[in-house]
Amino acid sequence: MEVTLIMFKAIIAILVILLVLSSFRVVPQNNEGLIETLGKYSRTVKAGLVVIIPIIQKMRRVSLAMFPAEISKYSIITKDNAEITTSLTLNYLVTDSYKYFYNNTDSVKSMVELIRGHLRDIIGRMDLNEALGSTSKINTQLSEAIGDLTDIYGIRVVRVNIDELLPSAEIQKAMDKQLTADREKIAAIEKAEGEAKNIELTTKAKNDALIATAKAKAEAVKTEADAEAYRISKLQSSLAAASDGYFKNQSLDSFNKLATGPNNMIVVDKDDMTNLGSIPATAKVWNKSIENE
């Protein structure tokens, strides 16, 4: 009987110790604890050692650290009825553990749906080409749109980023064809411009050569004309400076040449007609004329 009593006391002591130990809770760093009394929210406690009433009270731990999340691919229709597929990544953290845990059965899912809805609205007001080329702009508009709206879930979105915006396979195929056509068009234009430039340069080179040749010929003609003018000028100067004896000698030389030639006609100046007989060359011409008769 005494052994049974001792065992009973030991069991009671163990239960009391376990009960006391179970009344202590530790809230880790960057976490908060939500204390519930008989299933009803009682208070919020910070990181550290917390004492609760066993069985009656219960603590729920909520992390305040930043969480990454990925929104899987889903389709959006643009303003011009083109279908594109998008996926996002974001980072969020809990700013109000009470709202996060009690105001919504799944705050993270609600936040994701909110972001999806705003992204559909933003892209739905854009044409396909505008949407595909405005990822940065869409990120900015999306961040501004959600703003503090997620505060009702006790969550704040720190960063949101669109990972990809892809058109449907049919649209992509059409875009590839258009891109190929544009590239071929650009190549054809560049080729035509190159040929035109080549023709222009060739024509210019030929024209420059013709002009250079014409200038060279003109310069040669001018040089030749200048030389001839110089020769005539010097000749005239020499003749102007020559004495009468020089011209008489030239006349006598001409008469001598005529006398030895087949012709029998002599042209002399009228002033020299009286002295014609005194010129030996005249006598020779005269004698030759008589012999021929």
Q: What is the pLDDT of residue 229?
A: 80
pLDDT tens digits for range 239-286:
666 556 655 566 656 656 655 656 555 555 555 555 555 555 555 544
202 and 274 co-located in one domain: no
Neighbour tally for 115: CB within 10 Å: 23
72 and 163 co-located in one domain: yes
Q: What is the pLDDT of residue 54?
A: 84
Q: What is the pLDDT of residue 196?
A: 82
What Rg, from alpha-carbon coordinates, does the chain have?
A: 61
Q: What is the pLDDT of residue 96?
A: 92
160 and 100 co-located in one domain: yes
205 and 256 co-located in one domain: no
| CATH, residue 88 | 3.30.479.30
196 and 231 co-located in one domain: yes
84 and 155 co-located in one domain: yes
Picking from 63, 92, 112, the residue at the C-terminal end of a domain is 63
C-alpha–C-alpha distance, residues 148 and 157, integer Å: 9
C-alpha–C-alpha distance, residues 287 and 247, integer Å: 25
Domain count, the chain: 4
What range defines the domain where residue 54 resides? 2-63
Picking from 167, 184, 215, the residue at the C-terminal end of a domain is 167
| Percent of the residues in the chain that have a pLDDT greater than 90, as a whole number | 14
51 and 141 co-located in one domain: no
User: 155 near 93, Cβ under 8 Å?
Assistant: yes
Neighbour tally for 67: CB within 10 Å: 13
C-alpha–C-alpha distance, residues 52 and 14, integer Å: 19
**Nearby residues of 158 by Cβ (< 8 Å), 6 or more positions away:** 66, 90, 91, 92, 93
C-alpha–C-alpha distance, residues 272 and 293, integer Å: 26
Pairing mode of beta strands 155-167, 24-27:
unpaired
221 and 151 co-located in one domain: no
- Ranges of residues in the chain with a pLDDT under 70 are 1-3, 174-176, 178-183, 238-293
